[in-house]
Amino acid sequence: MTNPLRDLADGRLCCLNTATLGHREPILTVIDAVARAGFGAISPWRRDVEGHDAAAIGRRIKDAGLVLPGYCRSTYLPATTPDGFRANVEDNRRAISDAASLGAQSFVMVVGGVAEGSKDLDHARRQVEDGTARLLEHGREVGVRIALEPLHPMYAGDRSCLNTLAQALDICDRLDPEPGPDPWLGVAIDCYHCWWDPDRAAGIARAGAARRILGFHVCDWLVPTKDLLLDRGMMGDGVIDIPAIRGEIEAAGYQGPAEVEVFSANDWWQRDREEVLKICRERFATVT
């Protein structure tokens, strides 16, 4: 432990990412439940919001006393044609406008893996940087920060060619070389994606020094993990030393909430919403 940790028994420091509940109920129901359960923040997904009135949802979140750290998530950027790439950028531009209507502090970018039908990972990475540059511009215009979320390398094929914190921070430095005290471009750091990385602590320190930590996500790595996407564990049920990573994050100056994001088709998504919220709060207080 590198610093005295903040007390996550204080629900104001706890954020519920709506994916944790499996997107089974309307967002307004979820907002009210999350506020009742004592959380201080909620991060919804586009599937919760699109097709509804984003501004009205944003007001409901605010009225419930919740903040909205990160709106999830981008359409994948890489494509095999210039038209496909442009369409992906446009789609994200619309989502960033929705993020502004919602009052989201940031828009979370899960950037996409190698484009379908391609084996060119480097090309995908170049497209991600190019697309991010365009979206950063739009984010500045509408007042939404862009949070690049590096994903675990097991997603390089289909979900994210951005796989380490160092890679994401290099992009930040190139696209936003003079960020000032409150950068428009930063990173969302998820324990699940970076716990294995030998350069994790250095990356977190670097991100903190540049004030680029826009989000901190928690869940756990189960042994065995039975599915690459939908078998994440609740904090405490796996092998990640989450308090150690939170220590690094807080020592780096991060003051935002810790956000629980658990994809779990066969366990947590099968449980009652109130049970899940209660256990999240408990695990925040004890093993996070």
Single residue of 22, 208, 238, 256 touching its own copies by CB under 8 A: 238
The interface with its own copies within residues 197-216 (CB under 8 A) comprises 197-198
Please state the closest distance from residue 5 (CB atom) to its own copies, in A.
16
| Residue nearer to its own copies on the CB measure, 32 or 173 | 173
Please report whether residue 179 would count as binding its own copies according to CB under 8 A.
no
Please report whether residue 1 would count as binding its own copies according to CB under 8 A.
no
* Tally of CB atoms within 10 A around 253: 12
Please state the closest distance from residue 242 (CB atom) to its own copies, in A.
9
Contacts with its own copies: how many residues (CB under 8 A)? Answer: 32
CA distances to 77, 120, 122, 123 from 85, rounded to whole Å, are 6, 14, 15, 12
Part of the chain binding its own copies (CB under 8 A), chosen from 7-15, 47-55, 82-90, 116-124: 116-124
Residues 6+ apart with CB under 8 A from 181: 211
| Residue nearer to its own copies on the CB measure, 37 or 121 | 121
Strands 41-43 and 258-260: unpaired
Please report whether residue 173 would count as binding its own copies according to CB under 8 A.
no
Site string for its own copies, 118-157 (x = CB under 8 A): xxxx---x--------------------------xxx-xx
The interface with its own copies within residues 94-113 (CB under 8 A) comprises 113
Q: CA-to-CA distance for 253 and 18, rounded, in angstroms?
A: 26
Part of the chain binding its own copies (CB under 8 A), chosen from 36-44, 51-59, 134-142, 190-198: 190-198
Please state the closest distance from residue 265 (CB atom) to its own copies, in A.
14
Q: CA-to-CA distance for 258 and 14, rounded, in angstroms?
A: 5
Q: CA-to-CA distance for 164 and 166, rounded, in angstroms?
A: 5
Single residue of 17, 75, 163, 288 touching its own copies by CB under 8 A: 163
Please report whether residue 4 would count as binding its own copies according to CB under 8 A.
no
Backbone angles phi, psi at 248, to 5 degrees: -65, -40
Angle of CA points 277, 73, 11, to nearest 5°? 30
Number of helices followed by number of strands (H, E) in the chain: 10, 8
Please state the closest distance from residue 210 (CB atom) to its own copies, in A.
19
Please report whether residue 158 would count as binding its own copies according to CB under 8 A.
yes
Q: Is 10 left (phi over 0), alpha (psi -120 to 50) or beta?
A: beta
Please report whether residue 228 would count as binding its own copies according to CB under 8 A.
yes
Residues 6+ apart with CB under 8 A from 79: 85, 87, 88, 115, 127
**Listed residue (180, 146, 164, 178) closest to 77, CA to CA:** 146
Please report whether residue 167 would count as binding its own copies according to CB under 8 A.
yes
- Cβ atoms of 169 and 204 closer than 8 Å: no
Which residues are near its own copies by CB under 8 A? 113-114, 118-121, 125, 152-154, 156-158, 161, 163-164, 166-167, 195-198, 221-225, 228, 238-241
